[in-house]
Amino acid sequence: MVGLLLTENGVMLPPQASSVAPAVDSLFKFIFWISAFFFLLIVGLMLAFVIRFRKRPGHQKAAHPPTHNTLLELTWSGIPLILVMIMGVWGFKVFLDINTPPANAYEVQVTGQKWKWLFTYPNGYVDEVLHVPVDQPVRLVMTSEDVIHSFFVPAFRIKRDVVPGRYTKLWFRATKTGKFQVFCAEYCGTSHSDMLTFVEVHEPGGFERWLEAASNLLNTLPPAEAGRRLYQSRGCSQCHSVDGSGGIGPTFQKLFGHEVVLKGGARTTADENYIRESILEPMAKIVAGFEPVMPTYKGRLKDQEITALVAYIKSLSGEAQPEGGQQGGNHGSTGR
Ligand code: CUA
pLDDT of residue 79: 93
Distance 118 CA to ligand 1 centre (A): 13
Which atom of ligand 1 sits closest to the CA of residue 114?
A: 1
Nearest CA among 153, 150, 158 for reference residue 192: 150
The residues facing 336 across adjacent strands are none
Q: What is the pLDDT of residues 15-29, one digit of tens each?
A: 899 999 999 999 999
Which atom of ligand 1 sits closest to the CA of residue 189?
A: 2
Q: Pairing state of beta strands 259-261 and 6-7?
A: unpaired
pLDDT of residue 141: 95
Nearest CA among 173, 23, 150 for reference residue 95: 23
Which atom of ligand 1 sits closest to the CA of residue 187?
A: 2
Cβ contacts of 303 within 8 Å, gap of 6 or more = 335
Q: 222-315, what's its fold?
A: Cytochrome Bc1 Complex; Chain D, domain 2 (1.10.760)
Pocket flag, ligand 1, residue 201 (CB < 6 Å): no
Return left, alpha or beta for 241; rule: phi > 0 is left, psi -120 to 50 is alpha, else beta: beta
Q: Report the C-alpha gap between 44 and 146 in whole angstroms.
A: 50
Nearest CA among 288, 296, 252 for reference residue 267: 288
What are the structural domain ranges in the chain? 106-215, 222-315
Q: Report the C-alpha gap between 313 and 333 in whole angstroms.
A: 10
pLDDT of residue 168: 94
Distance 277 CA to ligand 1 centre (A): 28
Q: Pairing state of beta strands 178-184 and 197-202?
A: antiparallel
pLDDT of residue 333: 39
Contacts 24+ apart (CB under 8 A), 243-248: 248/191, 248/290, 248/291, 248/293
Which atom of ligand 1 sits closest to the CA of residue 193?
A: 2
Cβ atoms of 160 and 142 closer than 8 Å? yes
Pocket flag, ligand 1, residue 192 (CB < 6 Å): yes
pLDDT of residue 8: 58
Nearest CA among 232, 22, 67 for reference residue 240: 232
Pocket flag, ligand 1, residue 149 (CB < 6 Å): yes
pLDDT of residue 332: 38
Distance 150 CA to ligand 1 centre (A): 6
pLDDT of residue 131: 94
Q: 106-215, what's its fold?
A: Immunoglobulin-like (2.60.40)
Amino acid code (one letter) for 253: Q
Nearest CA among 131, 129, 328 for reference residue 228: 328
Distance 181 CA to ligand 1 centre (A): 14
CB atoms within 10 A of CB 307: 21
Pocket flag, ligand 1, residue 170 (CB < 6 Å): no
Which atom of ligand 1 sits closest to the CA of residue 186?
A: 2
Cβ contacts of 317 within 8 Å, gap of 6 or more = 254, 255, 256, 257, 258
Pocket flag, ligand 1, residue 33 (CB < 6 Å): no
CB atoms within 10 A of CB 78: 10
Distance 183 CA to ligand 1 centre (A): 8
The answer to whether domain 106-215 and domain 222-315 are alike in fold is no
Kindly give the parts of the chain with pLDDT less than 70.
Answer: 1-11, 319-336
Nearest CA to ligand 1 atom 1: 149
Pocket flag, ligand 1, residue 164 (CB < 6 Å): no
Which atom of ligand 1 sits closest to the CA of residue 115?
A: 1
Q: Report the C-alpha gap between 272 and 76 in whole angstroms.
A: 76
